[in-house]
Structure 1
């Protein structure tokens, strides 16, 4: 694959004038299509034949400041899958984009992120849709219903695609020319479920930080993080103040491994961090050093979930360099703060994985970290997990898949995504895989966004160009995201406050506040398709993408 990437990069640079890092263009010149029906008519269409279940919907025209007016169709597919479709009232360019839902979903909002430079999304000429996946709110009691489990696992996203396409055909008199799906976190899992189980639904799929190993992720992984960061007194061991010395130690050990000291680790797999270097020489000093108990907790976090005999229970642990992103996930701000990973694990273990549910609810401290428990989760794995490497159905119809992940992800280890990429190559042959799959790994990037590395990039533009003109993305030029509060981006997964204008989104508790972060300078970097990485040329600003080139 590397030879193919380097040839593509050479051609790209030549096209751009020799040395630039121009982003892909290449979208097909599709003629705008006008509606052939009134928006109100869509409320009266019987979608039951398309979705395979009783479906009801409402329709209304919506005009928002600075946006192209659209027909909003909101509906429910039996028993309780809510969906929303937004169809441009004029200038539709024959494209459809469905977006995924993070966490355990339960809310309905359309989130077309990573869309910079993608005109169909930014100018409102694309049909958009999403779903709440069959339940509302954060109470996991819905897991008691086998149908709701299936709707969340796979059916909700699929039938929403069927409903949206039927509405498109009725409204415009024709099918979409190109259909896309983009999601991150559980939305990334949903993306892979579509490619694996419903390959006919979408032409291009972007799967970010996919929770593809859902059962392991939400039991052993988050359960382990909560368990090892909880002391005998029931209080958290590592606190927010402890992350600075730990992160400093990681950078000191590994920042220069790529030949450039720039505050981020290009490939943490080459990194070996010994938390013991942070041990206090005398009294504990918050923010400067760690106690022996804190050092041990950090060691176990880097190690990842294991049995008492030392056998790994997850594909890969969190990576060095991600430490500041642990705050708010399994490292609370203070000793009285919640360990969110414990909540994630307890909800999933006790309500979603077993039939029947455990008679005595598990906690991270009582959950058995054993191979026998892995075996007991196998029925749930067959339902939820998106780990099937056979993508022949999707590839056979010309589908294109972009995998992407942040190296600093505190929720889902990027090792999961790398392992899946490798398994697809083993199952289908590397040349076949490389004809329709690309993977991008972003140094310093957190979960879906944020972190101290560049994390915003033209994902959808690259995906659409690949599908529509065959221009495979060889590089994504990324830049640092602007902070959303107190200098730190909000996590893209887990509890959150509903954004303004979110459709039907329940009022959820706010994620515990992150600590103020130092203001980082703007930075852009090229992130090359795996396995190529960006190397500094030796001249120019280290915060400018043009100062870097691709190397093995």
Structure 2
């Protein structure tokens, strides 16, 4: 009879000779007999330069080569099974450095998962140059969420839905920690989770569903309200198609239209933070009616509908409204909402499948021709009940000293910054000093945007918070498009106000109340 991985690791750790033999060789990890786990590969890796993450566009990780030291590579599968429409199981990759710093990092995925990104723990912001977790000495694991492939057909399988929603997090975390015990003969001192987009949702889920497994979380642009955001994508497509000329969705709003909108936002809001620099750091009560006459009325009305968020028959909010940020004219915003002649909007290429197959019960092949969004909202609430990471009660996570760092692009076209601000306010009222939220002006989804201060390091921020106990009030940041300039990202609801002096120096700003 096979032992569980955890039991095997504890048994071997208690047998000195066996434990030493196990820890001495990477290849020895393959010989363990483990319930539910198939280890397909264990291989000692030399110090090397790993190529850029090929899944960076999905995970938000920095698309840069990574220098790593010698480490043990483990690849395997958990709970291999025959599902209702194919073969399933949770595939994972783990890298265990020879020079271990005593910490473990679970790396989140992206999209609907279905792929294994290299387990290197890069900061999940495409503009970040911060050192990845593996290069810092972390043991890092990544996974595919419980299905192989990026399509949505997996959602016809009940267990595959549950694994992607949250169950795979616990299974992979248990496996990774047991491998750490087997390799290093002790448990990790700290267990962190870090991801963006769906990986950010998984990060928040780690705090909400597994509060005793993780004591530090970084959640970037989290799709924590993903079922309703998916509904919103369909509503946005319908709204913008109503004003699109022949040629499709990409022509609903031209680049010139969006440039006009961005310029008006800057005209009304740029100086609110004390500096006219193309960045809107301060909250601004933008009046969109000032755009009337500058773009056609039908386009403006469609944009107002999109920015207000989807509403039901009686005016009730079905998701969230959106902040007006000048990054609305950036390529990242267009890529999701409008697309181009060369590439359809991601709201069209990704959105319909996730809504109809993943969030609707039972799964549907196509959207209704005349969708009733109230009925759709009611339908997706069933899956959303276990898939959305919107729980605000974090008492166990907080009691154990858990810390949560969230960053969010103000120009994100997929998940509204206003929505995460509401969640943060409600959660912080229950467990103060457990989470910190940092809004990133100009940034779209997991990086990108106009003058976006997306080069930052939330992992170091989290490390310092855990070590000192002092909650961070700001996160240093710079903009890849302005390499000589720095500015703090301030803990919400404060913002960076210019105080005078060199505008390129972060010390010229102070975090002030809105």
| TM-score higher than 0.5 | yes
Residue among 104, 109, 113 paired with 2:112: 104
The aligned residue for residue 40 of structure 1 is 27
> In 1, are the aligned partners of 2:129 and 2:456 still within 8 Å (CA)?
no
3-state SS of paired residue (1:450): coil
Query: Structure 1 residues 120, 101: closer, same or farther in 2, change over 3 A?
Result: closer
Residue among 273, 292, 301 paired with 1:296: 301
Structure 1 residue 111 displacement after superposition: 5.4
Report 1:57-136 matches (<5 A): 57-63=40-46, 64-65=48-49, 66-79=67-80, 80-89=89-98, 91-109=99-117, 110=119, 112-114=121-123, 121=133, 123-136=135-148
Residue 354, structure 1, aligned to residue 354, structure 2:
no
The aligned residue for residue 5 of structure 2 is none
Q: Which runs of 5+ in 1 are unaligned?
A: 1-32, 280-289, 483-519
3-state SS of paired residue (1:36): helix
3-state SS of paired residue (1:355): coil
3-state SS of paired residue (1:260): coil
Residue 328, structure 1, aligned to residue 361, structure 2:
no
Tell which deviates more after alignment, 257-266 or 269-278: 269-278
Structure with higher RCO (Cα < 8 A, 6+ apart): 1
Which consecutive segments of 4 or more residues in structure 1 shift more than 4 A? 115-120
The aligned residue for residue 263 of structure 1 is 278
Cα deviations across residues 281-309 of structure 1 (Å, max 9, x unaligned)?
Answer: xxxxxxxxx33332232222222212344
> In 1, are the aligned partners of 2:108 and 2:194 still within 8 Å (CA)?
yes
Cα deviations across residues 340-398 of structure 1 (Å, max 9, x unaligned)?
Answer: 2123321112111123223x6216x633222x432222211112010111101111211
Structure 1 residue 123 displacement after superposition: 3.5
Residue among 496, 499, 503 paired with 1:534: 496
Cα deviations across residues 313-345 of structure 1 (Å, max 9, x unaligned)?
Answer: 1133253323124211112234x7522212332
The aligned residue for residue 373 of structure 2 is 369
3-state SS of paired residue (2:194): strand
Q: Distance in 1 between matches of 2:278 and 2:444?
A: 14
> In 1, are the aligned partners of 2:356 and 2:367 still within 8 Å (CA)?
yes
Residue among 254, 257, 262 paired with 1:247: 262
Q: Could you state the TM-score of these two structures normalised by the residue count of structure 1?
A: 0.78
> In 1, are the aligned partners of 2:22 and 2:29 still within 8 Å (CA)?
no
Report 1:502-513 matches (<5 A): none
Tell which deviates more after alignment, 187-196 or 252-261: 252-261
Query: Structure 1 residues 446, 119: closer, same or farther in 2, change over 3 A?
Result: closer
3-state SS of paired residue (2:436): strand
Query: Structure 1 residues 463, 54: closer, same or farther in 2, change over 3 A?
Result: same
> In 1, are the aligned partners of 2:264 and 2:291 still within 8 Å (CA)?
no
Structure 1 residue 117 displacement after superposition: 9.0
> In 2, are the aligned partners of 1:247 and 1:321 still within 8 Å (CA)?
yes
Q: Distance in 2 between matches of 1:162 and 1:59?
A: 18
The aligned residue for residue 57 of structure 2 is none
Structure 1 residue 75 displacement after superposition: 0.5
Cα deviations across residues 92-130 of structure 1 (Å, max 9, x unaligned)?
Answer: 111111110111111111352339797783644211111
Residue 384, structure 1, aligned to residue 387, structure 2:
yes
Structure 1 residue 35 displacement after superposition: 8.1
Report 1:394-433 matches (<5 A): 394-426=397-429, 428=430, 433=431
The aligned residue for residue 56 of structure 1 is 39
Query: Structure 1 residues 243, 69: closer, same or farther in 2, change over 3 A?
Result: same
Residue 453, structure 1, aligned to residue 457, structure 2:
no
Q: Could you state the TM-score of these two structures normalised by the residue count of structure 2?
A: 0.83
Instruction: Indicate the structure with greater strand content.
Output: 2
Q: Which runs of 5+ in 2 are unaligned?
A: 1-19, 50-66, 81-88
The aligned residue for residue 313 of structure 1 is 318
Q: CA RMSD in A?
A: 2.4
